[in-house]
Structure 1
Amino acid sequence: MSSLLYSLGRWAFRARGIVVGAWILILALVGGGALLFNQGLDNSISIPGTESQKALDSLSTTFPQVSGASAQLVVVAPEGDSVNDDAVEQVILDSVDTLNDIEGIANAVSPFDENIDGAISDNERAAIISIQLEGSQYEVTEATKDALKDEADALAKALPDGSESALGGQLFSTGFPTLSATELIGVGVALLVLILTFGSFLAAGMPLITALLGVGISVAFIFIATAFGSITSTTPMLALMLGLAVGIDYALFIISRHQEQLRDGMDAEESAARSVATAGSAVIFAGLTVIIALVGLGVAGIPFLTIMGVSAAAGVAVAVIISITLIPAFLGFAGERLRPKSAKPSRKAKRAHAAAQAQVEAQAGSAGSIEPLASTHRPNRFFSGWVKAATRFPIVTILGVVAILGLVSAPALGLRLALPDAGGLPEDEPARVTYDLISDNFGEGFNGPLIVTGSIVTSTDPLGLMDDLKSEIEKLDGVEAVPLATPNETADTGIVQVIPTGGPDSVATKDLVAEIRSMHDYFLEEYDVDLSVTGFTAVGIDVSDKLGGALLPFGVIVVGLSLILLTMVFRSIWVPIKATLGYLLSVCAAFGVVALVFEHGWFADALNITREGPVISFMPIILMGVLFGLAMDYEVFLVARMREDYVHSGKAKESVTTGFIGSAKVVTAAAIIMFAVFAAFVPEGDTNIKPIALGLAVGVFVDAFIVRMTLVPAVLALLGEKAWWIPKWLDRVLPSFDVEGEGVAKEIELRNWPTAGSTDIATAEGLTLDAGATRLYENVSFSLPQDGTLVVSAGRDTSVTALLLTLSGRMLSDSGILKVAGYVASVRAASVRSRVAFVSLSEASDPVRDLTDALREKPRMIALDGIDQVTDAVTRRNIYDALVSARSAAMKGDSTLAIAVGTASPTTLADAIPGVETAVELNLTDSELAHEAEVSA
């Protein structure tokens, strides 16, 4: 992958105009599509299959008058007056008549209706007009909402002076998120950090431009997707917040690597290509972890959450693609302007140099013995002191970090989840005013009524049955009132409206729902009624329970995924375990802080938290998914540099320090940017986004600075050499993920090997391969001209087959160097496979046909295994003719065809393979390459 990214980075650098123009065109197209196809966002949430949703779906057919969205218009008479006063009552009655004439309203119920209980407060100062709409919250038109608001305004004007009124209820319980100037603070902080990191306004502006471009494209795609299904209003805000953060960070990683290489004197184009190959590889890995985790939200089986995860994942994918294409294009436009100026040596360094120079001159009597004072890039003393402090007493550091984070995580045990309601809106919102007026005059339960419903088709006395059910439910603890118990017009379905004593998100209301459901069998046996509990409040409880139940399987998937991915990257057992445990500490600490703020009110006023209580149900699962990807970002960029230093030096503990110093600056900048972007969405953010943004901000801070930059160095220093241990069998089984660009570094190193301008199709040096305790071949070296023939023979067919598979890119040797068609086989195996065909003649039912099919792809080389086992003379002749024809066709097309054959008897091939008399012969047996070797486990 790193080699492909190297080529992509070089191409984007050269074709920068095309790349920038293409991205601008994409933005214009998707932006136009969003304007054309946008169908609006939907704040309604449902989970198919739950009891509440099934009952609600059934009511839409049997009792449509109560199945749609609802609203409430509350009226409070002046102090000392009553809503029963003529001046107030008549205004309310007139308003009810007007409301019933509005298109889209199924029924507006007067609080004075004799069939309704509890619509007038005990002190008779307040009354509630219950409004039932046609269709779900998503289906209510803006015209209907506007007409409702107009009538509410007219009611307020008609009421006597000193009266209060407000329009709210389920229909207006959640607002659509909007951007404010506060969110721009995060972007401003990001810009400041980028300027300090790069020391250049030009370099600092690139990540912001690419991040904003990516966010624009991803959000536009979300609005286009509304044409195909409902999407919650939280979805684009989450994609915006996450896309902005990762977009800036991914660009930061690539540009910082580019500047580092420019500082070392590398050519700008070469540096851009290598930056994309190295840092770009890490960006792709980091992006994949975030994408997989977000898509994994589908494990909960909740449609709106799946859509949210996929949309956010698409935003991250766009950020990754922009980073590896548009950033090198911008680097091309910048050219040499990003090359850092040489740092001036400090006065202390000058004095030390002068003293040393004087000493040498005095001793040797000659000048010039000391090299001129160089302007070097000195390591950061701050980070050097940090890592030394963390690793000086590693056990103390580990225990301290675990104890602190454990203490911060403790409040998470009491974290409650619920869907948002109007109680979480800003205090000046009309829906929040309605919520508070109802709570003050009627009790919180009137803001979250329950509906108990079931089929009563077998009843001979539906009215009596509903009265009996009302009486039964009124006896239950936690029931404030039962204002309505009625059958539908056809008397086949009944509903009982239940007002709980607690609010919609209270524990008491949840317990009441559970108790009514626990009486299902009793009602069935006693009254022959199959009752279900539904309504907006019950749906919210079911959503929260379903999401809470999905946390464990999702956590297992995330943790398991992190173990596998990190083992692939770092080729270690302990590093992935340490990384995963650190991730869990970060998640738990984030949950703990969210609980302290939203449940216990810590710093609630400073963060503009309008009400203490449960947080939105899908906060934990989204936080776990997103933070997983971000934690892997910091793990990769920090630990990969430590591993790189360890591979080169072999010194485990020293590599922790040098690797930390080399990568801490960019990790710190990335974490500060992430923290700033997420934290900016807390004070003025949407109610749904606030806890998610706060959790992510805390999680990023804890994971970057406490876990990755403090706990990780301590653990690695404590483990020493053991940190990089992995069983050999596992190392062979796991695929390799070249995050640090080792592959492209090897290709660059071998760019002029064996000689510059070599025309050989294949060159090998010292190839060795073991299979368990058997050495298949050892120290194999050869050069094959681009139109030549290679004959490989041995007493054992497996050795021949293994070498031909290696030559064709289908197997990798354990050691040695192999270059085929200009590609290093161990790095660009896919490119080798696309240019070298492999045919096993001994296993083919029709050898000639298989050979012809392979030659039809016009390979540059073809490897034929088992040719000596083709004994039929006609078949051998046809093989000969096919190869001659293919070579002739290649020459006419200004190309060549090399042939590699495997056989146990090369002397018999002269009449079967063209050019065998002048072939490169490689006898594995004569070289004693196929012997049994003692290979340690």
Structure 2
Amino acid sequence: MAELLYRVGRLCARRAWAVVATWAVVLGLSVGGYLAFGGALSSQVTIPGTRTAEVTDQLAARFPSASGGNGTVVFHTSDGSPFTDEQKAAIGELLRSTADLDGVAAATDPFATQRQVTEQAGQLTAGQRQLDAGRQQLDRAQQQLDAAKAQPGAPVAQLDAQQQELTRKRAELDAQATKLDLSQRLLAMSAEIRLVSEDNTAAVAAIVFEEEQLDVTPETKEAVVDHVSAGVPAGVGADFSNEITQAVPEVLGVGEVAGLIVAAITLLVMLRSLIASALPLVGALVGVGVGVTLSLSLSGVVDMLSITPVLGVMLGLAVGIDYSLFILNRHRRQLLHGADVHESIGLANGTSGNAVVFAGATVLVALLALNVTGIGFLGLMGTVGAICVAVAVVIAVTLTPALLSLLGLRVLSRKARGDIARHRAGDAPTEPMTRNRAVLTAVAGLAALVLIALPALSMRLGLPDGSSEAQDSTQYRAYTLIEERFGEGVNGPLLVVAELPDPVTGDDLLAAQVRVGERLAAQGDVTAVAPIGQSSDNLLLAFQVVPAQGPNSESTERLVRDLRGLSPLDGGVTLGVAGSASGNIDISEQLSDALPIYLSVVLGLSLVILIFVFRSVLVPLTATLGFVLSLFATFGAITAIFQWGWLGAVFGIHDPGPILSFLPTILIGILFGLAMDYQLFLVSGMREAYAHGAPARLAVRQGLHAGRAVVTAAAIIMISVFGGFIFSHTAMIRSLGFGLAFGVLADAFLVRMLLIPAVMHLLGRSAWWLPGWLDRVLPNVDVEGAALERSHPVTPRVGEQPRQASTVG
């Protein structure tokens, strides 16, 4: 591989303009493919086959009116005064016209509906009074009839006929009383559900779409938002729930640009050349453009989560800059030793480029392994991330050599170009670290990682709701208004379906609704239960259940499990639960179940790959354990900030909640690959020094000395790029950006530069132990490109000592 990459590097250097033109064409084709074949992205996280998905499919097949996507519009007066009659009428008319928009099935007028509920309650009260009056009238008639029967010579036949009539009327009253009682019980169960707040300052309108939630197009949602926003009457504001306003997140905002600026400054400080600093950025941006647009071309044929391309941007920028930097840094050092430009490009591509290919391959394996979880959207995220990383690797070993050739010696600063003939390599350490320092470093590093990881013991998984959106967003205002004026649970109602063994109609239907509804209402943490209809075959009843707390609360999660545990009810009635809160719970549970399997696969791959690379047993074990420590430290930091709310003001966390359900799985895949990158670039230098005769403990320090500068710069660049996404307006992107930034920080600086060198010092020669039988079986990977260096030595200037090659730069 090293010899092949050497030839590729030389070829790209000689045909530099052809390579640049080729990548320009590839970028144009990928952008054209996206414009031609790209489809809409989804903001809804779904997993087929969950219990919620099964209920949703059941509703779609047998109760279509309850299966369409829906969202909420919250109307509120601007000055906090009650709605006027004119405002109510204008809102009603606006909603009637909203229902006529393409893709909208219905729009509920909250004032009309609330008025109907109030009238219904009044009718039931009036009916109860009439019923009581009728009973009193029948009682008086019965008394008169009994008195008549007691009179001598009373006409028995006539009195018997009157008695039969009274009995018939009493039976009718009893039937009416039963129906009235059932209606009153239904009304009592749903009494807490309001569409207009008690102070008459806020109203909730439900917008029902024709398609299922996942299939509602962004254009349909935008049309609703635009139409309602333009038509609200004076003195009234309108805010929209997540289901209506969720859209494709911003890929490059202010925070992301700031991250790129920090990366550019880091490159400038390290390389001391503006031209050289721009080269990795150019390559990374081209790679992101190709990788992301190529991936988005798939969105026309597969359902793609809106965060997926953002993940591609994160990875493409971070690894693209780092991989080009490794090759550039190697090339610059060789130029300083007097190497010919094209020869140096070939050697840098064959040595550091070889390591880049191998490091990229580990990231690819980890990302593609997300498909073993069996969760579609997660596997697709991994695949898109892998595409972007693969493009970054190819860019690094083709476009980077071409750009290096075009720039020539200008990749060095003017001062460095003048000092080429007098350049001396930095002196390598001649003494290993002390044993006491190694012990102290290992203990302190381990203690710090364990301490940071402790909050992970209480980590809860979920999906973001309106409370996690930016405080100035309409979604957040809608969420908080509903919470304040109508109750927390209204933001995440549950949809419960009851499958009956036999069809019911008429009074029997009303009785069945009451019987099932009261069982649901009897559960703890239920605020209200309301029947919303039945299927056309009268076998499926649907209920809206309003929890006491919000969709991400522990009590709502417990309520979903309790409701499912009720099934089957007496009489063979089976229950199913759906809704956003139920769906979040199912998705989180399935992701949690997949996490151990995926972690096992990744750790197994880690051991196998590193045994191949380092021809050692203990080095892979320490590397893998170090990865586990940094991973759980990352989980702990995420839990403390996003779930507990620590430093919330710094990171914009105003309403702490559960951790994004698929974040731990994604972090395992990405951080594993990046951890192995740094392990490779640092420990390969140690192995190389040991192979060239340095004592094992001294080799540890020499390898660390040779690689720490470029790895430090690479880690800072990654942290900057990932950290820029922390300040995104999208909750999912914020937590993902923080997790990746902190994970790189913990792994690169605590694990790879402190803990691993200390442990390897304590292990000494045993760190490189490999059983004889395994040594004979394993192929020689030569990731450092040592054989290439022997066949293509860099000739030093007169007066210099030959430089010992180093893959780390």
The answer to which structure, 1 or 2, has the higher relative contact order (CA under 8 A, 6+ apart) is 2
Are 1:619 and 2:666 counterparts? no
Partner of residue 740 from structure 1, selected from 784, 800, 803: 784
Shift of 1:344: 12
Name the SS of the counterpart of 2:727 in structure 1: coil
Shift of 1:434: 1.0
Partner of residue 324 from structure 2, selected from 251, 265, 283: 251
Partner of residue 585 from structure 2, selected from 541, 545, 548: 541
Shift of 1:729: 0.9
Are 1:720 and 2:750 counterparts? no
Match of 1:148 in 2: 224
Matches within 5 A, 1:821-900: none
> Bigger CA drift: 453-462 or 322-331?
453-462
Match of 2:480 in 1: 436
Match of 1:128 in 2: 204
Query: Unpaired segments of 5 or more residues in structure 2?
Result: 118-189, 795-809
**Structure 2 residue identity aligned to 1:507:** E
Match of 1:406 in 2: 450
Match of 1:206 in 2: 279
Match of 1:168 in 2: 241
Shift of 1:60: 1.2
TM-score scaled to structure 1, two decimals? 0.73
Match of 1:530 in 2: 574
Match of 1:889 in 2: none
**Whole-Å separation in 2 of the counterparts to 1:513 and 1:332:** 63
Match of 1:67 in 2: 67
Name the SS of the counterpart of 2:530 in structure 1: strand
Asked whether the equivalents of residues 256 and 721 of structure 2 are also in contact (C-alpha less than 8 Å), the reply is: yes
Q: Relative to total residues, which structure has the larger helix share, 1 or 2?
A: 2
Asked whether the equivalents of residues 478 and 512 of structure 1 are also in contact (C-alpha less than 8 Å), the reply is: yes
**Whole-Å separation in 1 of the counterparts to 2:413 and 2:334:** 10
Name the SS of the counterpart of 1:73 in structure 2: strand
Shift of 1:276: 0.9
**Structure 2 residue identity aligned to 1:140:** V
**Whole-Å separation in 1 of the counterparts to 2:378 and 2:516:** 36
Match of 2:8 in 1: 8
- Per-residue CA deviation, residues 66-114 of structure 1 (Å, 9 max, x unaligned), is 212111122335778555x634443343334223322322222333434
**Structure 2 residue identity aligned to 1:377:** A
**Whole-Å separation in 1 of the counterparts to 2:776 and 2:564:** 55
Structure 1 pair 204–344 and aligned structure 2 pair: CA distance change class (3 A): closer
Partner of residue 223 from structure 1, selected from 292, 296, 302: 296
Match of 2:128 in 1: none
Asked whether the equivalents of residues 681 and 689 of structure 1 are also in contact (C-alpha less than 8 Å), the reply is: yes
Partner of residue 526 from structure 2, selected from 459, 479, 482: 479
Match of 1:31 in 2: 31
**Whole-Å separation in 1 of the counterparts to 2:217 and 2:603:** 44
**Whole-Å separation in 2 of the counterparts to 1:570 and 1:482:** 63
Match of 2:165 in 1: none
- Per-residue CA deviation, residues 350-381 of structure 1 (Å, 9 max, x unaligned), is xxxxxxxxxxxxxxxxxxxxxxx96523248x
TM-score scaled to structure 2, two decimals? 0.84
**Structure 1 residue identity aligned to 2:85:** D
**Structure 1 residue identity aligned to 2:43:** N
**Whole-Å separation in 2 of the counterparts to 1:418 and 1:134:** 27
> Bigger CA drift: 117-126 or 705-714?
117-126
Asked whether the equivalents of residues 252 and 670 of structure 1 are also in contact (C-alpha less than 8 Å), the reply is: yes
Are 1:664 and 2:741 counterparts? no
Structure 1 pair 245–468 and aligned structure 2 pair: CA distance change class (3 A): same
Partner of residue 672 from structure 2, selected from 614, 628, 633: 628
Structure 1 pair 169–189 and aligned structure 2 pair: CA distance change class (3 A): closer
Shift of 1:174: 6.1
Name the SS of the counterpart of 2:97 in structure 1: helix
- Per-residue CA deviation, residues 513-545 of structure 1 (Å, 9 max, x unaligned), is 111111123x2xx13222211112211111111
Asked whether the equivalents of residues 172 and 422 of structure 1 are also in contact (C-alpha less than 8 Å), the reply is: no
Query: Unpaired segments of 5 or more residues in structure 1?
Result: 347-372, 751-937
Asked whether the equivalents of residues 424 and 611 of structure 1 are also in contact (C-alpha less than 8 Å), the reply is: yes
**Whole-Å separation in 1 of the counterparts to 2:246 and 2:538:** 32
Matches within 5 A, 1:417-816: 417-456=461-500, 458-460=502-504, 461-521=508-568, 523=569, 526-748=570-792
Match of 2:250 in 1: 177
**Structure 2 residue identity aligned to 1:519:** L
**Structure 1 residue identity aligned to 2:397:** I
- Per-residue CA deviation, residues 9-41 of structure 1 (Å, 9 max, x unaligned), is 111111212111111110011111212222221
Match of 2:425 in 1: 377
Aligned residues: 714
Partner of residue 351 from structure 2, selected from 270, 278, 283: 278
Name the SS of the counterpart of 2:726 in structure 1: coil
**Structure 2 residue identity aligned to 1:333:** L
**Whole-Å separation in 2 of the counterparts to 1:174 and 1:549:** 29
Shift of 1:418: 1.1
Q: Relative to total residues, which structure has the larger strand share, 1 or 2?
A: 1
Name the SS of the counterpart of 1:593 in structure 2: helix
**Whole-Å separation in 2 of the counterparts to 1:735 and 1:689:** 41
**Whole-Å separation in 2 of the counterparts to 1:93 and 1:206:** 59
**Whole-Å separation in 1 of the counterparts to 2:6 and 2:274:** 26
Asked whether the equivalents of residues 451 and 496 of structure 1 are also in contact (C-alpha less than 8 Å), the reply is: yes
Structure 1 pair 389–509 and aligned structure 2 pair: CA distance change class (3 A): farther
Name the SS of the counterpart of 2:207 in structure 1: strand
Structure 1 vs Structure 2 CA RMSD: 2.5
**Whole-Å separation in 2 of the counterparts to 1:73 and 1:122:** 18
**Whole-Å separation in 2 of the counterparts to 1:320 and 1:685:** 30
**Structure 2 residue identity aligned to 1:709:** M
**Whole-Å separation in 2 of the counterparts to 1:70 and 1:748:** 67
**Structure 1 residue identity aligned to 2:535:** N
Shift of 1:610: 3.7
**Whole-Å separation in 2 of the counterparts to 1:46 and 1:344:** 57
**Whole-Å separation in 1 of the counterparts to 2:548 and 2:248:** 26
Asked whether the equivalents of residues 174 and 420 of structure 1 are also in contact (C-alpha less than 8 Å), the reply is: no
Match of 2:105 in 1: 106
**Whole-Å separation in 2 of the counterparts to 1:164 and 1:342:** 63
**Whole-Å separation in 2 of the counterparts to 1:742 and 1:396:** 34
**Structure 2 residue identity aligned to 1:578:** T
Match of 2:439 in 1: 395
Shift of 1:144: 3.0
Asked whether the equivalents of residues 175 and 425 of structure 1 are also in contact (C-alpha less than 8 Å), the reply is: no
Shift of 1:153: 2.4
Shift of 1:640: 0.1
**Whole-Å separation in 1 of the counterparts to 2:327 and 2:433:** 29
- Per-residue CA deviation, residues 308-357 of structure 1 (Å, 9 max, x unaligned), is 110011000000011011111112112233357787999xxxxxxxxxxx
Structure 1 pair 535–305 and aligned structure 2 pair: CA distance change class (3 A): same
Structure 1 pair 78–192 and aligned structure 2 pair: CA distance change class (3 A): closer
Identical amino acids, percent of aligned pairs = 38
**Structure 1 residue identity aligned to 2:263:** A
Match of 1:336 in 2: 409
**Whole-Å separation in 1 of the counterparts to 2:59 and 2:498:** 9
**Whole-Å separation in 1 of the counterparts to 2:252 and 2:414:** 39
Asked whether the equivalents of residues 345 and 376 of structure 1 are also in contact (C-alpha less than 8 Å), the reply is: no
- Per-residue CA deviation, residues 486-527 of structure 1 (Å, 9 max, x unaligned), is 213442322111111111111111111111111123x2xx13
> Bigger CA drift: 408-417 or 450-459?
450-459
Matches within 5 A, 1:353-364: none
> Bigger CA drift: 204-213 or 190-199?
190-199
Shift of 1:166: 2.0
Are 1:268 and 2:302 counterparts? no
Match of 1:298 in 2: 371
- Per-residue CA deviation, residues 566-617 of structure 1 (Å, 9 max, x unaligned), is 1110001110011011111111111111111112222222222342111211
